[in-house]
């Protein structure tokens, strides 16, 4: 943060890139659900596992995600993210991207 309390332009852009990546990973979970509905269970499971692992890595690398989304770890730990959590989080990411 700068002295004025706002994010620097570089930091803001980095946040936007990370948020976009998070949104893409969340959308992958939604796509996995569709894949499973169409009979691609093994592929869907792999997509979900890869996306969740990548989200955990993103959280470890970019701690601001925990500040922006305090329930994100709970979503992952409880697998709520795999049902409806991914869509709710996508909406929250969109709010942050519009700022």
Spell out the residues 6+ positions from residue 26 whose beta carbon is closer than 8 angstroms to its own.
51, 55, 81, 86, 87, 89, 90, 93
Sequence ranges of the domains in the chain: 9-98
State the pLDDT confidence band at 7, using cuts at 50, 70 and 90: low
State the pLDDT confidence band at 66, using cuts at 50, 70 and 90: very high
Q: Cα–Cα distance between 33 and 29 in angstroms, integer? A: 6
The pTM (predicted TM-score) of the whole model is 0.87
pLDDT at 11 over 90: no
Of 24 and 84, the structure prediction assigns the larger pLDDT to 24
Q: Cα–Cα distance between 9 and 97 in angstroms, integer? A: 14
Over residues 35-62, the mean pLDDT reads 96
């Amino acid at each position: 943060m700068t002295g004025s309390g706002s994010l620097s332009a570089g930091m803001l852009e980095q946040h936007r890139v990370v948020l976009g990546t998070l949104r893409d990973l969340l959308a992958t979970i939604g796509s996995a659900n569709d894949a499973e509905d169409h009979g691609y269970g093994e592929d869907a499971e792999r997509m979900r596992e890869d996306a969740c692992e990548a989200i955990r890595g993103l959280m470890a690398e970019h701690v601001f995600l925990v500040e922006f989304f305090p329930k994100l770890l709970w979503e992952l730990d409880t697998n709520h993210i795999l049902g409806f959590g991914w869509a709710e989080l996508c909406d929250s990411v969109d709010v942050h991207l519009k700022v």
